[in-house]
C-alpha cells in the first residue's frame, strides 16, 4: 500500500490525504485531552466507537438535508471525508446548563435553559478557544455574516434533530459543539457543510432517567467507567461493532 501523507495530527484524530483529490481520511485515536491539554489520557476503544457514532449521526443528518463532509467509513478507525476549508469557529449549542457554562452564570448544573443557546468560540489551541461574538468573527474575517447565518441555522437544525433522535434512546442532549467548513463545488459554488465529528467527545449526553453522564465528562471529572459510557451510547444507537466490545481491540488500520 502506498504511504499516505499525514496532513495533521490533532488531539483526537489524525488526518491523512485521501485516495482522490479533495478527500481526506480521518483516523480516530483513543487519545483524549481535556482542559486545553492540561489533562490527557486514553480511552480504550474510543476511536472505534467515535468513528461509528459520528458516521451514524452524519448519515442521519444527511438524510434530513444537512450537508456534511462525510463520504463513507473505511474501516474500524477511519472514515473518508471531503476536504473542506475549516471555519475556525467552534459552534456550541446548549439546552441544559452544564460544565463551565453553569459555573460562568452561576446556574446549577442540570437546569434546563429558557431556550437553546448558541455560542461561538475561536478555534485556537494557543488561546484555549476563547468565546467570541459575531462582531469578532466578522471583524477578524473568520466568517462572513452569511456564513454565520448558515452555521446558526444548521446548528439549530442539528440540535432539534439529534435531541429527538437521542431522546428515542433515552439520552438527553445537554449540549454539543460542531465545526463547519467551506466546500467549493466544481461549479465554483461554495457551501457551508458540517465537518469534524459528532460523538461523546463533543456532546454532553445524560441518561434521561438517572442523569448519569455518558460522555467525555466522565474522563474530565474522573467519574470512572469511561469506556463503558462510550460503549453504552453506541449500544443504545444500535451500532456497537459486531462482536461487541471485544472487537474494539481489533486491527487499527486495515485498508
| By the rule CB under 6 A, 83 interacts with ligand ADP | yes
Q: How far is the CB of 116 from ligand ADP (least distance, A)?
A: 23
Q: How far is the CB of 13 from ligand ADP (least distance, A)?
A: 4
Interface with ligand ADP in residues 159-178 (CB under 6 A): none
Are the beta carbons of 175 and 163 closer than 8 angstroms?
no
| By the rule CB under 6 A, 69 interacts with ligand ADP | yes
Which residue, 175 or 245, has its beta carbon nearer to ligand ADP?
A: 175
Residue 36 has phi, psi (to 5 degrees) of 45, 60
Out of 18, 47, 181, 200, name the contact with ligand ADP by CB under 6 A. 181
Which residue, 58 or 166, has its beta carbon nearer to ligand ADP?
A: 58
Q: How far is the CB of 71 from ligand ADP (least distance, A)?
A: 10
Out of 43, 48, 53, 84, name the contact with ligand ADP by CB under 6 A. 84
Out of 49, 158, 195, 203, name the contact with ligand ADP by CB under 6 A. 195
Out of 61, 81, 151, 226, name the contact with ligand ADP by CB under 6 A. 81
Which residue, 42 or 116, has its beta carbon nearer to ligand ADP?
A: 42
Region binding ligand ADP by CB under 6 A among candidate stretches 3-11, 40-48, 167-175, 220-228: 3-11
Out of 4, 11, 60, 236, name the contact with ligand ADP by CB under 6 A. 11
Q: How far is the CB of 172 from ligand ADP (least distance, A)?
A: 24
Q: How is residue 42 written as a grid cell? A: 486514553
Handedness of CA 80, 81, 85, 89 (dihedral sign): negative
Quote the CA–CA distance of 35 and 31 in Å, as a whole number.
Answer: 14
| By the rule CB under 6 A, 10 interacts with ligand ADP | yes
Residue 72 has phi, psi (to 5 degrees) of -165, 160
Residues making contact with ligand ADP (CB under 6 A): 8, 10-13, 15, 24, 69, 81-84, 86, 179, 181, 195-196
Amino acid at each position: 500500500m502506498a504511504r499516505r501523507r499525514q496532513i495533521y495530527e490533532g488531539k483526537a484524530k489524525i488526518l491523512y490525504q485521501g485516495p482522490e483529490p479533495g478527500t481526506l481520511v480521518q483516523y480516530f485515536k483513543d487519545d483524549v485531552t481535556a482542559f486545553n491539554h492540561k489533562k490527557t489520557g486514553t480511552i480504550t476503544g474510543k476511536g472505534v466507537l467515535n468513528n461509528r457514532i459520528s458516521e451514524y449521526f452524519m448519515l442521519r443528518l444527511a438524510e434530513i438535508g444537512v450537508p456534511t463532509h462525510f463520504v463513507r467509513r473505511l474501516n474500524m478507525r477511519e472514515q473518508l471525508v471531503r476536504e473542506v476549508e475549516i471555519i475556525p469557529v467552534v459552534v456550541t449549542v446548549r439546552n441544559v446548563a452544564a460544565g463551565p457554562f453553569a459555573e460562568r452564570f452561576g446556574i446549577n448544573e442540570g437546569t434546563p435553559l429558557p431556550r437553546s443557546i448558541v455560542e461561538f468560540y475561536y478555534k485556537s489551541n494557543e488561546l484555549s478557544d476563547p468565546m467570541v461574538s459575531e462582531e469578532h468573527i466578522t471583524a477578524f474575517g473568520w466568517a462572513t455574516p452569511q456564513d454565520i447565518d448558515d452555521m446558526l441555522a444548521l446548528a439549530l437544525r442539528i440540535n432539534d434533530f439529534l435531541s429527538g433522535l437521542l431522546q428515542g434512546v433515552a439520552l438527553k442532549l445537554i449540549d454539543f459543539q460542531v465545526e463547519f467548513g467551506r466546500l467549493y463545488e466544481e461549479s465554483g459554488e461554495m457551501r457551508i457543510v458540517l465537518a469534524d465529528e459528532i460523538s461523546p467527545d463533543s456532546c454532553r449526553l445524560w441518561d434521561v432517567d438517572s442523569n448519569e453522564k455518558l460522555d467525555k465528562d466522565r474522563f474530565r471529572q474522573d467519574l470512572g467507567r469511561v469506556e463503558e459510557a462510550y460503549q453504552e451510547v453506541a449500544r443504545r444507537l444500535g451500532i456497537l461493532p459486531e462482536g461487541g466490545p471485544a472487537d474494539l481491540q481489533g486491527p487499527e488500520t486495515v485498508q
